[in-house]
Amino acid sequence: MGEIVLNEQSLQLMAQFEQLTGAGSRDCIIDERNERLIFVINPGEMGRAIGKQGSSIKKASDDLGKRIEVVEFSDDAEQFLRNCFLPARVTSVQFEENEEGDLVAFIDVVEEDRGIAIGKAGKNIFKAKCLAERQHDVANVQLVQDDAE
């Protein structure tokens, strides 16, 4: 795995998030560009992080003053990438090495979910790229363009 360096601000946010939701997190990205916080939470703690009808995540968002997104961690890079793109329905994840020897993930999603996978101004694909590199040494994430008409 890539080296994840958490600064003091990230560590404080993770501690606050855990205190507010009861869900443990292993990474926090402060995404200034999209004005949000992205937490990678421990496997099996998604329900706790979100809370009944979104109550936990809403309280955390209000207290921390930013929109919050959560992605459930998985040791399996393919499953982790599927988690990054939720609620978009991922049909396949393929890994290939590029000329530089870096790992690239090619993601195929159900056509109707393509907009969800990309996100407004590309924010969801940005999140997936950022997290895949930090958590699984995946240098790039690309959505597969389906040419079959």
Q: pLDDT digits over 92-133, tens only?
A: 999 999 999 999 999 999 999 999 999 999 999 999 999 999
- Pick among 3.30.300.20, 3.40.1190.20, 3.90.550.10, 3.40.50.740: CATH of 88-143: 3.30.300.20
Q: pLDDT digits over 53-83, tens only?
A: 999 999 999 999 999 999 999 999 999 999 9
Asked whether 49 and 39 are in contact (CB, 8 A), the reply is yes
Q: What's the pTM?
A: 0.90
For residue 1, what pLDDT band results from cuts at 50, 70 and 90? Answer: very low
Q: What confidence score (pLDDT) does residue 145 get?
A: 78
CATH 3.30.300.20-classified regions of the chain? 8-72, 88-143
Give domain 8-72's CATH architecture: 2-Layer Sandwich (3.30)
Place of tokens 């895949």: 132
Q: pLDDT digits over 90-103, tens only?
A: 999 999 999 999 99
Q: What confidence score (pLDDT) does residue 6 get?
A: 78
Q: What confidence score (pLDDT) does residue 149 get?
A: 44
Diameter over CA atoms, the chain: 50
State both tokens at 14.
């993770």
Q: What confidence score (pLDDT) does residue 7 get?
A: 85
Any bridge partners for residue 78, and if so which? none
> Is the CA virtual torsion 106, 111, 115, 116 positive or negative?
negative
Q: pLDDT digits over 13-46, tens only?
A: 999 999 999 999 999 999 999 999 999 999 999 9
pLDDT at 146 over 70: no
Chain-centre distance of CA 70, in angstroms?
7
Name the residue with higher pLDDT: 2 or 48.
48
